[in-house]
Amino acid sequence: MEIAITYIIIGIYSLALLLIFFYSLAQLNLLVNYLGYRRRNKEAPKYNLLDAKEVPYVTIQLPIYNEEYVVERLLENIAKIEYPSNKLEIQVLDDSTDDSVIETERQIKALQETGLDIQHIRRTNRQGYKAGALKEGLTSAKGDFIAIFDADFLPDSDWLKKTVIYFKDEEIGVVQTRWGHINRDYSVLTRIQAFALDAHFTLEQVGRNAKGHFINFNGTAGIWRKTCIIDAGNWEGDTLTEDLDLSYRAQLKNWKFKYLEDVETPAELPVVISAARSQQFRWNKGGAENFRKSVVSVVTAKNISFKTKFHGVMHLLNSSMFLCVFLVALLSIPMLYIKNRNESLGWVFEVTSFFILSTVILFICYWFTFKSIQGSSFSKFIDYVRLFFTFFSVALGFSLHNTLAVLEGHRGKRSEFVRTPKFNINNISDSWKGNKYLTKKLSPNMILEFGLMLYFLFGMYSAIPLNDFGLFPFHFMLFLGFGYVFFNSLTAKV
């Protein structure tokens, strides 16, 4: 029985490491694509906005739900968009259930008096959540192109002029821009979120788009061709990431996506861990839901190459990597004891040591994305090393939370769309204290995270009597990561 359990542990551990290794190789391939694309300057057909006949009609959709702290800032910013007034419409898709509706309505009326074509659209229910609101707005949208901004995004006044021009190419269905971060340096939490998002918006989006592989509209800071939305089947609310869902349906119907790395759209990052938790849960569960929904269509599609299929599957499995990471972490302590009690299995540990190679690959990939935004001086590299291992540790600390989200997604368990609370945080002196949208409940998962912190402390201790310190750095990062998530979750709720 003991031998059987030993081999089951080794099998699961090795399979999880293998999947992580494949993921790192996919990231390395995206890095090669990214570096190659940056050396090329491909010209594309563009609308001439100086010619009134070429200026397309645009509808800006602002889906909001209980955004008391940021809605005023949002509307003030959107009102500054530079675009011919006779070709611009703004829809405020307001599903709010609190008193913010009154202030939003007042501000919209004031903007209407300035001559701005802005409408306050209210629904009697939240069916389909954000996807439902976008779909409802689309039925009355006058624009041929639909720009979408979440409540915490602050596009520059010339944003439309930089993006809508690319739709001159009639095959393009979506133009997506890179997210910026107005509060990147607010805390450790915001720095590591910015670090991870920067990697996605440089390495992944450019690396896939450069070779015509599937990318995703990121839910905001992008613009759709209306006919593309309708042709792809319109917005659907059966997953928590409706943006990824529609993106894949559109690309399976041969629509092209254009990603603009050089156009930055600033936004606010969650500054408290409970808000980051809700966002991470939605993104990771939604990713797993979309894997269930789309993977067969991707694999069996006759209009895309094998390499695009491979990257598509790996993209849909992105969130599932947390499950692999969590299994590797959980089983690493039993593996430590198995290694020291079974000398005949030494070869297994030599083979599985390529986990270190996966980390090295990710370290290299993230460095190139970091330096493209932050710079490449020696001091920046030192900052990068610190930030990489901080990010790595906290990501490990989120692995239980995100694994549970992924498992729910793969099982098909439905759950409510939980919005990420916004704070109107612009600089380090601003405070999130007193935000009425923050959850006051203590998550049962926090108890498990505290237990895992102690579990990996035990893993560190185990290295001493076994005289085997190979996994000590890994267990140390796990201890720090789960400790960070637990204590920050605890203090943010009291």
DSSP string of 76-90? HHHTT--S-GGGEEE
Cα four-point dihedral sign 219, 220, 221, 222: positive
Distance of alpha carbon 168 from alpha carbon 204, whole angstroms: 25
DSSP state of 425: -
Measured between alpha carbons, how far is residue 70 from residues 47, 180, 366, 488 in Å?
33, 17, 32, 24
Query: Beta-strand (E) ranges in 51-105?
Result: 58-64, 88-94
Q: Which has the closest alpha carbon to 357: 15, 20, 35, 14?
A: 20
- Cα–Cα distance for residue pair 248/298, rounded to 1 Å: 8
Query: In this structure, what token pair is assigned to residue 75?
Result: 């509307």
What's the CA gap between 148 and 47, in Å, rounded?
Answer: 20
Q: What angle do CA 190, 101, 78 make, to 5 degrees?
A: 60
Query: CA 134, CA 146: separation in Å to the nearest integer?
Result: 10
Among 94, 156, 243, 245, the one annotated catalytic: 243
- 243 catalytic, yes or no? yes
Output the DSSP codes for 263-309: EEEEEPPP-SHHHHHHHHHHHHHHHHHHHHHHHHHHHH-SSS-HHHH
Instruction: Round to whole Å and give the CA distance between 150 and 311.
Output: 28
CA 424, CA 187: separation in Å to the nearest integer?
A: 15
d(CA 151, CA 66): 10
| Nearest CA among 295, 323, 322 for reference residue 310 | 295
Catalytic residue among 94, 95, 152, 198: 95
Nearest to 163 by CA among 152, 149, 147: 147
Side chain identity at 217, as an amino acid letter? Answer: F
**What amino acid positions are annotated as catalytic residues?**
95, 243
